[in-house]
Structure 1
């Protein structure tokens, strides 16, 4: 998450610099032709977008990690010794990859407490809202640090 923190800090530093000394904006910057108020608003918007896209990215990494773990579990239980085992494994994995991810999360209830599962589902709900254009009512806002902690805690319990 260091990359995220560096980006966020850079945005905040730039905002402070521009407020104190706007004439130092480089000529090739998209901000050079903007008024201070507009520049400040654009920077605030970019921070919101950075946060939202970071949550989307974290959930994508989480999904791939969990699907990979699920594949390993399935293949260890159904070694493709025969055609039936191979077909069962392939079918299960294909449906896991195309299914509702919140249902996959539920599969791990024996290893993960319900509270953490609920918190991961909140991250997932927020990610879906962002990824699908932020339409409708906004779910509870999830910041990238909280998302990272929740998703990491979940993975640490199942991997």
Structure 2
């Protein structure tokens, strides 16, 4: 299945940054003076330079997870808002339209873990659980409450893989009907 993954550009940028940290580490270790001139690494011990690069790489990984999850969260909300427009064509028309308007406006403010629960039964429950674990880690990165122990750490690679799988399953189970399917969705079911 080929689709435009909204996470690709973030993950590619993280991969490039990771490679840059590797190159910088090799450059600092060899003390290639021309390349480290006018940087904080000139005159730094190998231990100091490696510690600074390791800290920066960890920060970049955490920021990648923040960006990956924020983009994923936006995808899910926009997907639900689009899917909700089908509801507006439902029956009874006036009620459905009002409900659809409220849904589209308020979905922005729902607790995201509750939003994820909407997909239970259509998306693999274990996958939803993994997404929730990544969200817990993302929340910890964003707030870093020293009174709370950090949750299970996620890597950008894992976050990218899990969130991409979730996007694929959402798209697979919630593909918007086209043509005749849309017309059929707008016809109210007979009351028995």
Q: Give the secondary-structure state (helix, strand or coil) at the position aligned to 1:10.
A: helix
Contact 1:129/1:139 (<8 A) preserved: yes
1:140 and 2:174 aligned: no
Whether the 8 Å contact between 2:81 and 2:107 is mirrored in structure 1 is no
TM-score by structure 1 length? 0.89
Number of residues of Structure 1 aligned to a counterpart in Structure 2:
159
Aligned residue runs from structure 1 range 49-128, under 5 A: 49-79=59-89, 84-128=95-139
Q: Which structure's residues are more often helix, by fraction?
A: 1
Q: CA RMSD in A?
A: 2.1
Computing the radius of gyration from Cα coordinates, the structure with the larger value is: 2
Gap regions ≥5 residues in structure 1: none
Match of 2:164 in 1: 152
Q: Is the 8 A contact 2:68 2:159 kept in 1?
A: yes
Deviation for aligned residue 1:53: 0.4
Greater CA deviation, 28-37 or 99-108?
28-37
Q: Distance in 1 between matches of 2:115 and 2:159?
A: 18
TM-score by length of 2: 0.75
Structure 2 residues without counterparts, runs of 5 or longer: 1-10, 172-192
